[in-house]
Amino acid sequence: MKLHNPFRTALVATLGVGLGILLIQAVQSLSTILLYVGTALFLSLGLDPMVSWLTRRRLPRWAAVLVTILVVLGVFAGIVLMVIPTLVSQISQLIQQVTTIINSGKAIEDFKHWITQLFPNIEIDKVFGYVSDWLNKNLGDISSSIGQGVLVIGGALFAGIAGAFIVLILTIYFTAAIPSFKGAVYQMVPASRRDRFIDLAEQITASVGYYVMGQVSLGVINGVLSLILLSIIRAPFPIVLAVIAFFFSLIPLVGTLTGSTIIVLLCLVPGLGSPLTALIAGIYYLVYMQVEAYIISPRVMNRAVSVPGGVVVIAALAGGALLGLLGALIAIPVAASVLIIYRQVLIPRMNER
């Protein structure tokens, strides 16, 4: 290839690279906003099936959106009003019990005794000696790190509350404006291909919506069953543990396992639970995870997405690595959308003669 004007070619290439760098920096600077927008859009697609169901009952679109938002906010407020007082009470009891254990002066000895029972081959006095020496040497750094950590946690908590409020406002707006967004996108497609594009887009958005509803249903099932079992076996602070089970169940693949592990470990803490309680909870969650994986989840998610197990694992891992928790949540519906395009667009084109 002959370059008639090397200077102009180099200038255009340099400007292209610079524009690419500016775009990457802009995306990085707007990453938090893009995360809010993506989360709100994901949630609005999850609410869209309920809005569509109401509109099919001859309710105006604006009224269907209003009813949906009010129902969701009402359910959330009801759960908060029912759970928060008990949750605060149980957390206060937890703090009081921990404080009592520490003030008794026997906390360290009880902890040593507990570790010795679990791991009889460990020389617990030497371990505590090493830990004590290390703490004495690094006490100043630890104090300063704790102070910085408190400030970071406070800032993160405030940012989280503000972000949740922004996501809520955007979700309400997107839920009301989804038909307008769809119509604007559909108009960009040539008329000869518009019907096919609309059909695929409706399948994809419906898949995302039903996936969100299915994941929430799994979380509710796990939370309610956990509350019943933990109350029966007299586990410490069953409502707190049930809330943990619910929120972790919203995370695909590893959420139920992680939440179950935390619950079992909390049941094992000396002064709060007992080995027998932890054993019963552990056996229950092992059984529940099998039932959820092979019975509950396929029935709940069958209408939402149809994705092979291997693709689910790869998609969730890739989404988590790229976008964290949000990536893990949206990875499966994204994978389902790609499979819809693959099965209904690419394969028919490849089979054309």
- Measured between alpha carbons, how far is 122 from 125 in angstroms, rounded to an integer? 9
Cβ(201)–Cβ(182) below 8 Å: yes
Read off the pTM: 0.64
Cβ(182)–Cβ(275) below 8 Å: no
CA atoms lying within 13 Å on the CB side of residue 346: 7
Domain positions in the chain are: 33-86+128-188
Q: What is the pLDDT along the chain (353 residues), one digit of tens a residue?
A: 455 566 677 777 788 888 878 877 776 666 677 777 877 877 787 788 788 888 888 888 778 888 888 887 887 777 667 667 766 776 676 666 666 655 655 556 666 666 666 666 666 666 666 666 666 666 555 555 555 655 666 666 677 677 778 888 888 888 888 888 888 888 888 888 888 888 888 877 777 777 777 788 888 888 889 889 888 888 877 877 888 888 888 777 778 888 888 888 888 776 667 788 888 888 999 998 888 877 777 776 665 566 666 666 677 677 766 766 667 667 777 777 777 777 777 777 777 65
pLDDT at 1: 47
Q: What is the dihedral of CA 346, 347, 349, 353, to 10 degrees?
A: 160
Q: How far is CA 173 from CA 45, 134, 139, 179, in A?
A: 12, 54, 50, 12
pLDDT at 255: 80
